[in-house]
Amino acid sequence: MNRPTAKLTLFSTALALAVIAPTTLSHFNDKEMPQSYRQSWFALVAANFGPMAAMVKGDMPYDAERMQASADDLATLLQLDIMRGFPEGSEKGTTRAKPGIWDNKADFEQKMLDLQAAANALQAVAGGEDQKQVAARVGDVGQTCKACHDDYKSKDYLY
């Protein structure tokens, strides 16, 4: 990564974290740390993926630089170990996680790896001029999210 791109990525990450921090902290509960950890992580993932999906759908103007910055930030977030947020016993309490996560942890972990791979593929093309290719990779990320949501996310908040 060249120096101007690295600086832009660092700046956009810092800006995104500053803007998103109140949303992330709203999930913080020191009595349910694993739940808070994973809910904050998912909020950051959604905050980065949302604008990319909106650009592809035409709900907001397409901006290749913002697409790349969001893809970079998403790929960075997916390097964090989200499985720390799913220890035994954390299926109870304030959560939308279905018990199936703990019953079939290997499948859940594979879905997280699939998401990481899809996000990395998106990151590789996000700043390019081929908007159809970018849209296809955004769609792939969306499908990997949906695959996990279908099996492991309750539709209703439990708080």
E runs forming strands in 96-144: none
Is the pLDDT score of 11 beyond 70?
Answer: no
Structure pTM? 0.77
Residue 127 to residue 104: CA distance in whole angstroms: 36
Residue 19 to residue 43: CA distance in whole angstroms: 12
Is the pLDDT score of 25 beyond 50?
Answer: no
Domains delineated in the chain: 3-152 (1.20.120.10)
CA quadruple 75, 81, 87, 90: dihedral sign: negative
Give the helix, strand, coil percentages of the chain, each rounded to 5.
70, 0, 30
pLDDT digits (tens, 9 = 90+) for 45-86: 999 999 999 999 999 999 999 999 999 999 999 999 999 999
pLDDT confidence of 93, banded at 50, 70, 90? confident
Token pair in block for residue 149: 């949501």
Is the pLDDT score of 124 beyond 70?
Answer: yes
pLDDT confidence of 134, banded at 50, 70, 90? very high
* Mean pLDDT value of segment 22-42: 70
